[in-house]
Structure 1
Amino acid sequence: MNRFQHASLQSFPPFRARDDVVAHDAALAVTARDLIDIAASAGALQPLQSLTARARRAGGHLSRTRGRGMDYAESRAYQSGDDIRVMDWRVTARAVEPHIKLFREERERPVVAAIDLNPGMFFASRGALKAVQAARAAALFGWAAVTQGDRIGALLFDHDHHEVPPRSGRSGILSVIRELVTHTDARSALQLAPDPEGFNRALLRLRRLVRPGSLVILISDFYGLDELSMPHLLYLRRHSEVIALRVLDALELHAPPSGRYGVTDGRARHDIETVTPRDRARYQEALAAHHAAVQQRLQRCGIALLQLTTEDTVGQAITSQLNTAPGQYRRAV
């Protein structure tokens, strides 16, 4: 995998990219209109609504003071670390269990989409580039957040970080869309060399950017995930709700049929050989080991994992996974 995970494929049959897709710019880049039109699919993300509500009940961030504009919204059971200055003594007396007050300002929850745009994300043997799918997914979650009355922000990262502070309403999601369109240009991205430390630097930046009680959508192929990532992920998970969305190509899921396949990053070319059954078996074993490591690390942090391929219809794929396995998104105790 290391020889081609950051490459862009010059594929040969039967892994030739579909001519009808590649001929259409939507497979290679996103436009503002594309990402605005995704709003039509956002209403189907009802499980995201319930996830957000559960996270608020389970540990939404509270202001330390009541202050102006902090209207009472509801009460919930006290949890370790809550500010005792916002205890709800009346509900506590009735329920015979400590409760605290939540205030209306905190119901507008920050949602931050963190999108990995390393050179390896500008890759596809079929369908759309991984970076294009990542941008579509970020827009989908962004529109869902706006629909639900939350604020949406973003952190786009490759060699640099591009931040969009969380904002509410249409202006918030349009700010995110502008950054997505600007930074998903494959021609520029493929001029950059892979940055092995980029993923962990982005996680460190997320720790500083994300407020407690936020919802973080981490979108990546997760080749940069390693043991050094764990303290950052555990910190984020301790203070916020985190969903991981892994974007993969068919060649990163299954070994191709026997043959020789050329890959290039625009500067150098390499060949992948799967000529013998042994070659294919070794290739498949390497894939399986990588995927297992990603899943195990995220599970250790209590982070839910979704998957999106370069051929998927983004809205359908994400909604289907949220609908079929909602239980996995509950907070770890």
Structure 2
Amino acid sequence: MFQAHPFTANTAHTAQIDPQSSAQASGVRAELHQLITLRAQAQRLDLAPRGRVLATRSGGHLSRLRGRGMEFDESRVYLPGDDPRNMDWRVTARAGTPHVKLFREERERPVWLLVDQGPSMRFGTRVAFKSVIAAQVAALLGWAAVDRGDRVGGLIFDESRQLERQPAARHAGLLPLLERLATPLGATSVTDDRHRLATLAAQLATRVRPGSLIALISDFAAVTEADNAWLARLAAGNEVLFIMVHDPLEAQAPALGRYPVLRDGRRGIWDLTTAEARSRYQAAFAQRLEHLERLARLHGAHWVRLTTADPVGPTLAQALGGRRARGALNARSTR
């Protein structure tokens, strides 16, 4: 019924248990009407830019976002070093003391959803496949962005197809992405390009304008140290959400035993009959998790981790809750 990955996190192989019933199983495929109805839950999500951009000094901002329009936020008392071009002359005249204007990012910003629907994502032992949870995460983020007045675009891909949409206002950018996420997948390819995420992310980095919000949604099963380069390009001048979706079985090995699986079209056995085998299984996942968290910290990305057993809306809302506060703290630390 469910697809699974072998022991090593970076393997190109996939496995499937009882494929005859997978098409009928609940949670195997995202439904368009469900993705649309998630708009109500998206109201809980806070996608406002992290921190506040203080455009009071020449040569830089206190935000990592650069090169975009600004909206007036408030005025404060002039401090030595403030850019005189940002003087608020009306408030200065009224208060009798020099004041400068503070600015924040313009409300409408590009939001990119990069969603992995590849073979390793079509696996789940709780509630739904990882691919379905990823689709729900993308829908929630997309609706939250639409309701903020942001422009939504993205790149949805599996092992053989991809759909890219430039950010567009209102429903024009999001709905084609939701339709693609709800499109039934074809037969699983026996050859899985482990570097497809890295390849497409690197291409996306050339299209994204500075000041965008980029949500990477995947299990990141094939991410290695070599992926540092494309992530650095994506994070340069943008805010990145690093959202990992995994199944509880990936983090915690099943009970001792031998498990029949189907890998690359061939039947095989997972041999977990020894404590050593279970230990290797769990160590591989722990190593992948540590590597991904390190990459997120290195590039200032907001790290989010969901399992297929979590309630998606509430979990995502809670995970994003401290995002702006952390962004403001990081901004102050760079002054």
Report the TM-score, using the length of structure 2 for normalisation: 0.78
State the partner residue of 2:248: 250
Confirm or deny: 8 A CA contact 1:6 1:121 kept in the other structure: no
Confirm or deny: 8 A CA contact 2:51 2:324 kept in the other structure: no
Structure 1 residue identity aligned to 2:165:
V
> Is residue 130 of structure 1 aligned with residue 130 of structure 2?
yes
SS of the equivalent of 1:231 reads: helix
State the partner residue of 2:180: 179
Residues 25 and 73 (structure 1 numbering): CA distance in 2 closer, same or farther, change over 3 Å? Answer: farther
Quote the offset at 1:326 in angstroms: 6.1
Confirm or deny: 8 A CA contact 1:217 1:244 kept in the other structure: yes
State the partner residue of 1:2: 8
State the partner residue of 2:31: 31
Confirm or deny: 8 A CA contact 2:248 2:308 kept in the other structure: yes
The aligned runs of 1:20-99 (5 Å cut-off) are: 26-45=26-45, 47-49=46-48, 52=49, 54=51, 58-62=63-67, 73-74=72-73, 87-90=85-88
Structure 2 CA distance for aligned equivalents of residues 101 and 147 of structure 1: 22
Quote the offset at 1:61 in angstroms: 4.3
Query: What percentage of aligned pairs have identical amino acids?
Result: 30
Quote the offset at 1:96 in angstroms: 7.3
Quote the offset at 1:328 in angstroms: 4.2
Quote the offset at 1:274 in angstroms: 1.6
State the partner residue of 1:291: 289
Confirm or deny: 8 A CA contact 1:87 1:99 kept in the other structure: no
Say which one has the larger Rg: 2
State the partner residue of 2:192: 194
Residues 222 and 172 (structure 1 numbering): CA distance in 2 closer, same or farther, change over 3 Å? Answer: same
Quote the offset at 1:221 in angstroms: 0.6
Structure 2 CA distance for aligned equivalents of residues 285 and 6 of structure 1: 18
Structure 1 CA distance for aligned equivalents of residues 241 and 124 of structure 2: 23
Structure 1 CA distance for aligned equivalents of residues 73 and 323 of structure 2: 28
Structure 2 CA distance for aligned equivalents of residues 23 and 313 of structure 1: 23
Structure 1 CA distance for aligned equivalents of residues 134 and 198 of structure 2: 18
Structure 2 residue identity aligned to 1:163:
E
The aligned runs of 1:102-181 (5 Å cut-off) are: 106-159=106-159, 160-181=161-182
The aligned runs of 1:253-268 (5 Å cut-off) are: 253-265=251-263, 267-268=265-266
Alpha-carbon deviations, 1:145-168, whole Å to 9, x = none? 011111111111334542111111
> Is residue 208 of structure 1 aligned with residue 209 of structure 2?
no
**Residue in structure 2 matching 1:220, options 218, 221, 225:** 218
SS of the equivalent of 1:176 reads: helix
Alpha-carbon deviations, 1:236-286, whole Å to 9, x = none? 222100011101012211111111112224612232222122222222222
Residues 23 and 161 (structure 1 numbering): CA distance in 2 closer, same or farther, change over 3 Å? Answer: closer
Quote the offset at 1:297 in angstroms: 1.9
Structure 2 CA distance for aligned equivalents of residues 212 and 177 of structure 1: 25
SS of the equivalent of 1:247 reads: strand
Quote the offset at 1:228 in angstroms: 2.1
Report the TM-score, using the length of structure 1 for normalisation: 0.79
Structural RMSD (CA): 3.3
Unaligned residue ranges in structure 2 (runs of 5+): 1-6, 55-62, 77-82
SS of the equivalent of 2:236 reads: helix
Structure 1 CA distance for aligned equivalents of residues 38 and 241 of structure 2: 20
Quote the offset at 1:54 in angstroms: 2.4
Residues 240 and 258 (structure 1 numbering): CA distance in 2 closer, same or farther, change over 3 Å? Answer: same
Structure 1 residue identity aligned to 2:301:
I
Residues 281 and 97 (structure 1 numbering): CA distance in 2 closer, same or farther, change over 3 Å? Answer: farther
Structure 2 CA distance for aligned equivalents of residues 196 and 24 of structure 1: 28
Residues 219 and 329 (structure 1 numbering): CA distance in 2 closer, same or farther, change over 3 Å? Answer: farther
Structure 2 CA distance for aligned equivalents of residues 204 and 123 of structure 1: 26
> Is residue 314 of structure 1 aligned with residue 315 of structure 2?
no
Residues 76 and 161 (structure 1 numbering): CA distance in 2 closer, same or farther, change over 3 Å? Answer: farther
Confirm or deny: 8 A CA contact 2:190 2:265 kept in the other structure: no
Confirm or deny: 8 A CA contact 1:126 1:310 kept in the other structure: yes
Quote the offset at 1:88 in angstroms: 2.6
Quote the offset at 1:63 in angstroms: 5.2
Unaligned residue ranges in structure 1 (runs of 5+): 12-18, 65-69, 78-83
Confirm or deny: 8 A CA contact 1:9 1:125 kept in the other structure: no
Structure 1 CA distance for aligned equivalents of residues 123 and 72 of structure 2: 46
State the partner residue of 2:234: 236
